[in-house]
Structure 1
Amino acid sequence: MNIIFILYFSIGLIASTLGAIAGLGGGVIIKPVLDLFGDFKLPTIGVLSAATVLSMATVSLIKMRKKEVKIDKITSSFLAVGSIVGGFVGKAIFNLIAISLNIPTTTSIIQSVVLTALLSLIFIYFKQKHNLKTYMLKNKLAIFTIGITLGFLSAFLGIGGGPLNVAALCLLFSMTSKNAGINSIFIIFFSQLSALILIVITSGFGDYNLIMLLVMIPGGILGGWIGSNIVTKLSNTQVEKIFNIVILIIIIINFYNIARATLIL
């Protein structure tokens, strides 16, 4: 049992450290890895991921505030509010498919396929982004709508939205990879908080096996502290390289999860 606790603490720590550095949040790492282990049901994985990522985001934002790191509060706030709305819808559809229809394996395959496709597009974009035009959206309704889309995909996929946020911020708001990562964490904080509040006011946590939060939340806190200290010392190029490497690893894990889940059906 001690080895299992150490393993899950390490997952929370590594995912949160990388998430804080590259704006990934950590959920996009935690979700596929916990799918790979298969110790918990999908709804429980979603809660474990959300709580760990929220703890990371909280610490990261506190540390970054003290370091006076720039956050575009207007743009990120509209994206965050939109992501909360979209998150409610995405979570409701997830609950319908995974819980009400009782097809967790099929849901897991759908999540992995969609996530792999999105991450592949994001990976290609960051490899080619220096040759692509970026935009500077100012229309608040458009920003809010983008937030809804990001929130919907993040909640349904159970990933917290980090890579999607970073790509959108770079492409649609002309942010550097480093600044997009910081603003992504700001958005993730509110989206994960709202996701957990939604569970509290609907089903509650009674049906979830959350014992691993005893070690994953401390891992998230420590990872947020370490990552937020590291990111201020890195260049945009270094942050982008870390982002791309992590995305590639997650794509490979998802391919394996898809193949394994398909054999189970």
Structure 2
Amino acid sequence: MITIIILYFIIGLFASILGSIAGLGGGVIIKPVLDLFGHFDLATIGVLSSATVLSMSTVSILSVKNCKIEINKAVSSTIAAGSIVGGIIGKAIFNYLINILAVTDSLAIFQSAFLVVLMLAIVLLINNTNKMSSYKVKNKIIIFVVGLILGLISAFLGIGGGPLNVVVLTILFSMSFKQAAFNSIFIIFFAQLSSLVLVGISTGFNPYDLSMLMYMIIGGLLGGWIGSNAANRISNKLVKRLFNFAIIAIILLNIYNVIVTL
């Protein structure tokens, strides 16, 4: 039991460190790792991931006063509002497929395969931003719709939305990589908070096996603190390298999960 506790603490810790530094959030790492171990069902993994990422993002946001990176509250708040609405829709679709249609195995394969395609697209986009046009979108309706789409995809896949946020903030709002990463954490906080509130209102937390929740949250809090302090000291270039490393690892892990599930 002690070994299992340490394992889940480490998963929460390292996912949160990387998530905090690179704006990934951590959910995109936690989800495929927990799929790999197979100790929990998809719905429980979603709750564990959301709670860990929420704890990480809370610590990261609280350290903003000591950070030199600016949060664009007008843009990020509007995206966050859209992502909350999209998150509710995405979670509702996920719950319908799991609870009504009972297609758990098929959904797990689809999520992993879709994540592979999505992560490949993200890594290609993020490494070719210098060859692409960047914009400064100001229309609040467009920004809200962008947030809604991000929230829907992220909630349905159970990933928190970090990599998607970073790409969108970099291309559509001309943010530097570090600025996009930190603003992504701001958006993730509200998306994960709304996700957990929705679970509490709809099904409650009793149906889920949350035996590892406390240890993952502790890992998330510590990882958020370490990551946010590190992000303030390292270069934009190194943040981008860590982002690329994490995305490639996620792609390989999801490919393995698809092969094993099949």
User: TM-score, structure 1 length as denominator?
Assistant: 0.98
Match of 2:24, SS state, is coil
In structure 2, distance between residues paired with 1:197 and 1:33? 24
- Deviation per CA, 1:218-238: give whole Å up to 9, x if none: 000000000000000111111
Q: Which amino acid aligns with 1:86?
A: G
Cα drift, residue 68 of structure 1? 4.9
In structure 2, distance between residues paired with 1:65 and 1:122? 30
1:18 aligns with 2:46: no
Matches within 5 A, 1:72-111: 72-111=72-111
Counterpart in 1 of 2:141?
A: 141
Cα drift, residue 66 of structure 1? 3.1
Counterpart in 2 of 1:194?
A: 194
Q: Which runs of 5+ in 1 are unaligned?
A: none
Cα drift, residue 10 of structure 1? 0.1
- Deviation per CA, 1:55-111: give whole Å up to 9, x if none: 000000001233353100000000000000000000000011122211111011111
Asked if the contact 2:44/2:210 (under 8 Å) is kept, the reply is yes
Which has the larger displacement, 56-65 or 82-91? Answer: 56-65
Counterpart in 2 of 1:4?
A: 4
In structure 2, distance between residues paired with 1:186 and 1:108? 28
Matches within 5 A, 1:1-265: 1-262=1-262
Match of 1:205, SS state, is coil
Asked if the contact 2:48/2:213 (under 8 Å) is kept, the reply is yes
Identical amino acids, percent of aligned pairs: 55
Q: Which amino acid aligns with 1:102?
A: A
Please report the RMSD computed on the Cα atoms of aligned residues, expressed in angstroms: 0.8
In structure 2, distance between residues paired with 1:131 and 1:137? 19
User: TM-score, structure 2 length as denominator?
Assistant: 0.99
Which has the larger displacement, 97-106 or 153-162? Answer: 97-106
- Deviation per CA, 1:241-263: give whole Å up to 9, x if none: 1000100000000000111112x
Q: Which amino acid aligns with 2:192?
A: Q
Work out the number of aligned pairs and report it: 262
Q: Which amino acid aligns with 1:28?
A: V
In structure 2, distance between residues paired with 1:18 and 1:142? 30
In structure 1, distance between residues paired with 2:133 and 2:235? 22
